[in-house]
Structure 1
Amino acid sequence: MVSFTASEAKIQFGEVINKAQREPVSITKNGKPSVVVISADDYAEIEQLKLQTLRSKLAHSLAQAKAGQIHDIETVFDGLMKDL
């Protein structure tokens, strides 16, 4: 992954955009990773994967409910929140 400091990214913004079209670009601030710039296509793909994961968890929960495997709300949210 290509990396720029925040100052470099500000000055070379066009280059950051060009590189981000091909691979993620890390931007550091004060020597620490701050953000990653990715292409719009990569972002859309990540969002689609997140939606698929959520739908899968919902389908699993509905199947459990239909099978009579009911859980209290704390258990449900604990399972969902552990991935965050």
Structure 2
Amino acid sequence: MSAKDAKYGFGRLIDIARFGPVTVEKHGRPVVVVLAVEEYERLCAGADELPKETKQA
């Protein structure tokens, strides 16, 4: 989804993100991913289970 579409169709973006991650692009390049809070919490919980040296970037 383009950033412009995300801006002017924010409600639609939210509806789509409830079913799966949505990549938002600016000038044709991906810049952010919008996802449901349940998926975010699942990812955060999984990150807590990783060994300390794996989490460092």
Report the TM-score when normalising by structure 2.
0.89
Query: Any gaps of 5 or more consecutive residues in structure 1?
Result: 59-79
Which structure's CA Rg is the greater one? 1
Cα distance in 2 for residues equivalent to 1:45 and 1:82:
16
Q: TM-score, normalised by structure 1?
A: 0.62
Moved over 3 A (4+): none
Equivalent residues, number: 57
Give identity over the alignment, percent: 30
Is 1:44 aligned to residue 25 of structure 2? no
Larger RCO: Structure 1 or Structure 2 (Cα < 8 Å, ≥ 6 residues apart)?
2
More helix by share: 1
After superposition, the CA RMSD in angstroms is: 1.8
